[in-house]
Amino acid sequence: MSLRLEHLNPEQLAAVTLPDEHALVLAGAGSGKTRVLTTRIAWLIKSGHVAPGGVLAVTFTNKAAREMFVRLSAMLPVNPRGLWIGTFHGLANRLLRSHHQEAGLPREFQILDTQDQLSAVKRLARSLNIDEDRFPPRELQRFVNANKEEGLRARDVPAGDEPTRRQVEFFASYDEQCQREGVADFAELLLRSFELLNRHEILRRHYQARFRYILVDEFQDTNRLQYRWLKLFAGPESRLFAVGDDDQSIYGFRGANVGNLAEFEKEYAKGKVIRLEQNYRSQGNILDAANALIANNRNRLGKNLWTSAGRGDPLRVFEGESDADEARFIAEEVGALKREGTRLVDVAVLYRSNAQSRVLEHALFGAAIPYRVYGGLRFFERAEVKHALAYLRLVATPSDDNSFLRVANFPPRGIGARSMELLQDAAKQKGISLFEAVDPKGKAGNFKKLIEELKSETENLPLPEMVEHVIHRSGLIEHYKKEREGADRVENLEELVNAAAAFTQEEHNLDSEEETSPLVAFLTHAALEAGEHQAGEGQDALQLMTVHSAKGLEFGAVFMSGLEEGLFPHDQSLVEKDGLEEERRLAYVAITRARQRLYLSFAQTRMLHGQTRYSLASRFLEEIPEGLKKWLTPRFARQQRAMSFDAPAGKRAYADNKDTYFPKKEPFFASSRESSGFRIGQNVTHPKFGAGVIVDAEGDGGDARVQVNFGRQGVKWLAVAVAKLQAA
């Protein structure tokens, strides 16, 4: 591959051959930004603007860095190894290796990966006699890393309360331990190199003079410290070239600051913004949908994707009666695509939350469609699910030694490795199970008592309630709630309750004659689904993944599932600053993964905590113009929902976007139910509040009132006699 500029479009060419100035390149999805970035580096070197050693190029992944090396090797007659190209952490490491003495590190300092760091945190916490229940090791690890990523040392962190003071003290002790042992974690690499350049003026001037051109990829994903780190390299003669897309900034939860793009424009680019808007991936209808959606975000730098590839198919929209119905549709449609000749590897099913994969996996399993969970594990293979299943297996069969070993000390309850070794030796000598070998007065005695209590407490409970009781009483829910990024794990545990409810219904429909208990039958089902059907290496397989995992990928056909208020956009986004806008950017990323065909689907009802949740279509679906969509089901289908007003007592209905539940009250409209025409789950319209769904009701006759979820307008209690409600 030689340096060929004739294949660039006018905007790409302008970016590649930019004069000697700072610039911001707004590169839309599928607009060829990697080609622009690498071609610019090659052009700068071949045209004599800079020697290879005068280029600093920063990417976010090792994969992107390797791709740049490969492309540049084909373009340049010189070895591109002379360039500084790599990730923030990789380049920081390179700097610290070269100046380890000035940085206060030994020559052969070791790097702690995430697991090594957690082990170091646990070891230090034990030596300081820190209560793991109050200060879980993962939370201490998060506290250390979060502050380092903000450029703070322990001395800089304000401690306004006693728990924060304890964490700050731990932070200081942790830094001392790392310094003593000659190790550095990932966050330390960037912070230590920043501190080195910040305080060492001679060294800073050396690198500012060396790096004439500084190029940064995925600038929208930079955090505050990374931006400050970059600015230390930029001297009076340096030129910064930032490539990014504010519409694809989706990592706020990791500390990414989308505002860095706007700040860079004001501080460096000063209005010199090149927009790459021609898309080489998706067809016109898909791009128009993405443009219309993202236009609802405020404070964008602004661009409009377009293509010369034609309009293409409309977006196909499916409304399922339930999440299982939605999953069946996806499985059937994937099967049809395969029969048409589409390779499964070129088809992706995207979801907002990992927990959504369970019902999809079940449908794919039933349809014999091979699949692969990209960047993650299948539902029944996830650690938190396996922990819960281990507790359930012990309830069913206390002699299950594998399950005992898995959870006897999880969540942590003070049973150390030595205690477990002694217990295993005792069990082996006596020829009995670990459970039987437990000394009631020993450290494992409380665990044995817990299992016995769980067995007694769940003996007469229906299977879903049994599962829910066990995951709460075991301490798993509370344990994961304490983790900063434990929300996904909690959702997966809650989805296990849904799996039990769905299994119970399926077994009822099959009228199974097996004599095993519901719990044993469910555990067998879980083992079978965990052990089969994930595609093997090299096998053509459907791709399942979260939208976050899909960033940077593309597929011929994409299914966006679960487009419901409270799910996508997620509940939490509605209470966080910029949360809704980041969710919209996430939807924008999902849409722009598709080349030819895009499916949008949602369900009228979805299982949550083993109960039925009534849903409204996502606002994102409404923000896409109707002219771009083809409804595969009647819009706002007038079918009756699963639950009527006289449903059995104890049923609960989803009431708002914050996971608030209201117990089902006494039946109402008992005498005039048919004449009223209203039922829980029914779509209705109101002259003031618009479209909604009935989620609860109380009273009778003229005193009857209904609770309606009007989406953005909120949840309202309305008196039926005067509400002017109409069936949708």
The CA distances from residue 113 to 48, 87, 434, in Å, are 40, 15, 34
**β 315-322/273-276 pair status:** unpaired
**Which positions are catalytic?**
33-34, 217-218, 248, 593
Residue 528 has pLDDT above 80, yes or no: no
When pLDDT is cut at 50, 70 and 90, the band that residue 531 belongs to is low
- Give residue 663's pLDDT: 29
pLDDT tens readout for residues 196-237:
999 999 999 999 999 999 999 999 999 999 999 999 999 999
Grouping H, G, I as helix, E, B as strand and the rest as coil, residue 540 is coil
Which residue bears the tokens 């460096």?
268
What mean pLDDT is predicted for residues 169-182? 93
Who wins on pLDDT, 360 or 646? 360
Burial of 457 (0-12, 13-18, 19+ CB in 10 A): middle
pLDDT tens readout for residues 655-691:
333 332 222 323 333 333 333 557 776 778 888 778 7
**Interhelix angle for 33-46 vs 62-75, to 10°?**
50
Grouping H, G, I as helix, E, B as strand and the rest as coil, residue 2 is coil
* Exposure letters 117-134 (e unless 16+ CB within 10 A, then b): bbebbbebbeeeebebee
Alpha helices in 409-541 (DSSP H): 417-430, 434-437, 445-457, 463-473, 476-481, 487-510, 518-531
When pLDDT is cut at 50, 70 and 90, the band that residue 512 belongs to is very low
- Average pLDDT in the chain: 85
* Exposure letters 633-666 (e unless 16+ CB within 10 A, then b): eeeeeeeebebebebeeeebbbbbbeeebbebee
pLDDT tens readout for residues 86-114:
899 889 989 998 999 999 998 888 888 88
Which structure tokens are listed for 23? 């610039």
Which residue bears the tokens 């009935």?
694
Strand partners for 697:
706
- Rounded CA-CA distance 544/559 in Å is 10
pLDDT tens readout for residues 566-582:
899 988 887 787 889 99
- Give residue 529's pLDDT: 67
When pLDDT is cut at 50, 70 and 90, the band that residue 507 belongs to is low
- Give residue 633's pLDDT: 85
- Rounded CA-CA distance 483/427 in Å is 35
pLDDT tens readout for residues 419-461:
888 888 888 888 888 999 998 887 789 999 999 999 999 998 9
Residue 609 has pLDDT above 80, yes or no: no
The CA distances from residue 507 to 5, 78, 519, 600, in Å, are 64, 67, 12, 30
Range of lowest pLDDT (222-236, 595-609, 685-699): 685-699
Amino acid at 250: I
Grouping H, G, I as helix, E, B as strand and the rest as coil, residue 175 is helix
pLDDT tens readout for residues 547-562:
999 998 999 999 999 9
- Give residue 561's pLDDT: 97
Other residues' Cβ atoms within 10 Å of the Cβ of residue 243: 23
Secondary structure E strands in 587-633: 594-608, 611-614, 629-631
When pLDDT is cut at 50, 70 and 90, the band that residue 169 belongs to is very high
CB 514 within 8 A of CB 524: no
Who wins on pLDDT, 381 or 306? 306
State the maximum Cα–Cα separation within the chain, in Å, rounded to a whole number: 88
pLDDT tens readout for residues 253-294:
888 888 999 999 999 998 789 999 999 999 999 999 999 999
pTM comes to 0.76
